[in-house]
């Protein structure tokens, strides 16, 4: 099984990101609830900074050093115990 990682990011309206993954799929995520803490304050408060998101080492990063866990972005939150990863993605999208 190949490790799934992020290979492309496109910032959208609000705090949404479109993510291209190594398996060729594309997902959109609202990351507003993830932008918590001092390192994310500039990202939340400056639209231009949020829009400057880029991919580095398989995840999303910003020029101020803020980054997000790729697994949370890919799977749309922590996996639920006892649910296989693919099933969790389907469950999270309902």
Percent of the chain with pLDDT over 90: 74
Mean pLDDT, residues 26-44 taken together: 95
Domain total in the chain: 1
Question: What are the distances in angstroms from CA 28 to CA 9, 38, 70, 82?
Answer: 9, 25, 13, 25
Checking phi first, is residue 19 left (phi over 0); if not, alpha (psi -120 to 50) or beta?
beta
pTM comes to 0.78
Q: Which domain holds residue 74?
A: 6-93
Q: Which residue has the tokens 């749309």?
A: 76
Residue 27 covered by a domain: yes
Residue 77 covered by a domain: yes
Mean pLDDT, residues 85-89 taken together: 42
CATH number at residue 85: 3.30.2020.10
Residue 73 covered by a domain: yes
Residue 13 covered by a domain: yes
Please determine, for residue 94, whether its predicted confidence score (pLDDT) is greater than 60: no
Residue 1 covered by a domain: no
């Amino acid at each position: 099984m190949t490790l799934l990682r992020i290979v492309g990011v496109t910032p959208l309206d609000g705090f949404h990101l479109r993510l291209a993954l190594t398996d060729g799929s594309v997902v959109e995520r609202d990351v507003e609830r993830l932008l918590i803490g001092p390192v994310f304050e500039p990202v939340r408060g400056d639209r231009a900074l949020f829009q400057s998101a880029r991919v580095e080492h398989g995840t999303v990063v910003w020029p101020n050093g803020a980054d997000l866990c790729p697994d949370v972005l890919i799977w749309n939150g922590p996996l639920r115990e006892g649910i296989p990863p693919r099933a969790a993605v389907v469950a999270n999208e309902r």
